[in-house]
């Protein structure tokens, strides 16, 4: 739950301990906006604020599942200028993400990594209970491939955000979110799984 703004203070705390961290970010949106309604801190800006404060190791940031509407004709320009790896949703359609995650593990190396998963990274057919749904997203199986593909990384924290149960009377979004959080706990360093 919570909106993506919560990731910003978490990364401030983690960077104070570990220095700039890598980021595996699953989302329909890059969340690198600058200002909305006169505010610099909102759910669409946390990663721009993190870049400005040097909380992220920008060469070790990957954003997976980006798609949908934007206020800018060059929606990923800022991200690419920072050195982020951007994997739009259409590059994920109808295929396994295991090969991508092998590349991500190599990119992240053994330095600290944070996982930030916005539920709207998934297609609203699976996760309608969110405030900014975008069609043509990832599947739950691909979400598992991403999270399980992080096993072995030096993960120092993780979150799952933007679940809004009131928008999903079936309860499936909350169920999916809870299961994805469980999967994140299972890939933390030192956790033994069967």
Q: For 1-15, how does the pLDDT look when each residue is reduced to its tens digit (9 = 90+)? A: 689 999 999 999 999
Alpha-helical runs (H) found in 5-152: 7-18, 46-52, 77-82, 98-108, 140-148
* CA atoms within a 13 Å half-sphere pointing along the CA-CB vector of 56: 28
74 pLDDT band (50/70/90 cuts)? confident
Q: CATH for 4-130+142-157+166-187? A: 3.40.800.10
* Domain ranges, ordered by start, for the chain: 4-130+142-157+166-187
- List, for residues 14-51, the tens digit of each pLDDT value: 999 999 999 999 999 999 999 999 999 999 999 999 99
Identify whether the C-beta of residue 60 lies closer than 8 Å to the C-beta of residue 107.
yes
Count Cβ neighbours within 10 Å for each residue of 87-112 and write b for 16 or more, e otherwise. Answer: bebeebeeeebeebbeebbeebeeeb
Q: Pick the residue with more confidence: 78 or 75?
A: 78
What pLDDT shows up at residue 1? 64
What confidence score (pLDDT) does residue 11 get?
98
pLDDT of amino acid 173? 98
pLDDT at residue 72, rounded to an integer:
78
* Complete edge-to-edge strand list for the sheet that includes strand 21-26: 85-88, 56-66, 21-26, 112-118, 154-161
Q: Give the span between the Cα atoms of 26 and 171, in whole angstroms.
A: 21
Closest CA to 177 of 152, 132, 143: 143
Task: Answer yes or no: are the C-beta atoms of 29 and 66 closer than 8 Å.
Answer: yes
| Closest by CA position to 85, among listed 71, 67, 104 | 104
Q: What is the pLDDT of residue 152?
A: 97
Q: Is the pLDDT of residue 166 over 80?
A: yes
The residues facing 63 across adjacent strands are: 25, 86
Q: What proportion of the chain, given as a percentage, has pLDDT over 90? A: 94
Tokens 């990274």, residue located: 121
Q: Would you place residue 150 in the very low, low, confident or very high pLDDT band (cuts 50, 70, 90)? A: very high
């Amino acid at each position: 739950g919570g909106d993506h703004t919560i990731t910003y203070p978490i990364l401030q705390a983690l960077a104070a301990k570990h220095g700039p961290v890598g980021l595996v970010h699953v989302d329909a949106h890059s969340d690198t906006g600058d200002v909305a309604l006169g505010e610099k801190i909102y759910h669409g800006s946390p990663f721009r604020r993190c870049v400005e404060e040097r909380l992220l190791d920008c060469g070790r940031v990957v954003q997976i599942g980006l798609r949908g509407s934007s206020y800018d004709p060059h929606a990923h320009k800022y991200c690419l200028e920072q050195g982020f790896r951007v994997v739009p949703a259409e590059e994920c359609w109808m295929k396994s993400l295991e090969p991508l995650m092998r590349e991500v593990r190599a990119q992240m190396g053994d330095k600290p990594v944070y996982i930030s998963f916005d539920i709207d990274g998934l297609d609203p057919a699976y996760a309608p209970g969110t405030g900014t749904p975008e069609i043509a997203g990832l599947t739950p199986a691909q979400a598992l491939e991403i999270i399980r593909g992080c096993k072995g990384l030096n993960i120092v924290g993780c979150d799952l955000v933007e679940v809004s149960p009131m928008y999903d009377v079936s309860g499936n979004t909350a169920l999916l979110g809870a299961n994805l959080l469980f999967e994140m706990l299972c890939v933390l360093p030192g956790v033994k799984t069967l």
